[in-house]
Amino acid sequence: MSEIIIAIDGYSSCGKSTLARALAAELTYVYIDSGAMYRAVTLFLEHGIRMDHKPSVDAALEQIHIDFQYGQEGLVTLLNGENVEEGIRSMAVAAKVSPVATIPEVRRALVRQQQALGRGKQIVMDGRDIGTVVFPHAELKIFLTASLEERVRRRSLQLLRKGLSVPDEEIRKNLLERDYIDSTRSDSPLMKAPDAVVLDNTNLTEEEQLLVTVILALTRKRRSIV
Ligand code: CDP
């Protein structure tokens, strides 16, 4: 059977990573969270780097090395060798990541790394431009959606599990702001690839099994024809 690339795109907090993780585990593929890479760059740039000054951004990008480690707590993001999972999931980073992700130099550097990670295929990557820009030839593309209220509810639970109690209103505002910036930026905006399968994930908890099964069936079908 041929190995493939699975690209999952969609708005903030609609369950992309849960689905991508489950798929990667089922297929024994590698899961890559491309959003974590934008979050890690944001964390790094927070140290007083002028984001509107191209040479400063270029110099900072030269100093950034992002890796993923698969440990007992699941996927861990390393920024220059340091575990930054806690920092990159903070609301402070969530508030700044979308503007950082509009910077063309940042996108170019990260897309290059993401494409290198997918060279051997056998990868599930989630993000905003995976099926459109990073892997336009991915054999399976999924565009995931979920209702805003469900997305707020899930993000709130995720934060609570990390000991962070954030008011729903703040979460809702952040998700809407990021959705807006991500889908209206000029460089690789979030959009559904014409050949992506759209899946509504609003009822994932009850339908998770079904959804994963459907996707696995789609995957098998694609793999048998490539
Ligand atoms: O987890 P959540 O869905 O909230 O977001 P994320 O996947 O961690 O991505 C954080 C931010 O990174 C997004 O809001 C985008 O601004 C940016 N991003 C991007 O521009 N392109 C990607 N491929 C992935 C993330």
Residue 17 to residue 19: CA distance in whole angstroms? 5
pLDDT of residue 207: 59
| Residue nearest atom 15 of ligand 1, based on CA coordinates | 98
Domains of the chain (ranges; CATH) run 5-220 (3.40.50.300)
Which CA distances in Å does 162 have to 88, 91, 158, 206? 12, 12, 7, 24
Confidence (pTM): 0.93
If you average pLDDT over every residue of the chain, what do you get?
91
Confidence band for 168, pLDDT divided at 50, 70 and 90: very high
| Residue nearest atom 5 of ligand 1, based on CA coordinates | 12
Q: How far away, in angstroms, is 124 Cα from ligand 1 center?
A: 15
- Ligand 1, closest atom to CA 12? 3
Residue 206 to residue 225: CA distance in whole angstroms? 31
Average pLDDT (81-107) is 95
Q: Are β-strands 123-127 and 140-145 bridged in parallel, bridged antiparallel, or unpaired?
A: unpaired
Q: Is the pLDDT of residue 27 over 90?
A: no
**Ligand 1 test: best mutation among 8, 11, 12, 44, most atoms within 8 Å of CB?**
12
Q: What are phi and psi of 71, to 5 degrees?
A: -120, -165
Q: How far away, in angstroms, is 1 Cα from ligand 1 center?
A: 32
Confidence band for 204, pLDDT divided at 50, 70 and 90: low
Q: Is the pLDDT of residue 156 over 80?
A: yes
Please report the DSSP string for 96-151 in residue order: HHHHHTT-HHHHHHHHHHHHHHTTT--EEEEESSIIIII-TT-SEEEEEE--HHHH
Of residues 76, 75, 80, the one with CA closest to residue 61: 80
Q: Is the pLDDT of residue 224 over 90?
A: no
Pocket of ligand 1 (CB under 6 A): 12-13, 34-35, 38-39, 97-98, 101, 127-130, 178, 182
Does residue 92 contact residue 174 with C-beta atoms inside 8 Å? Answer: no
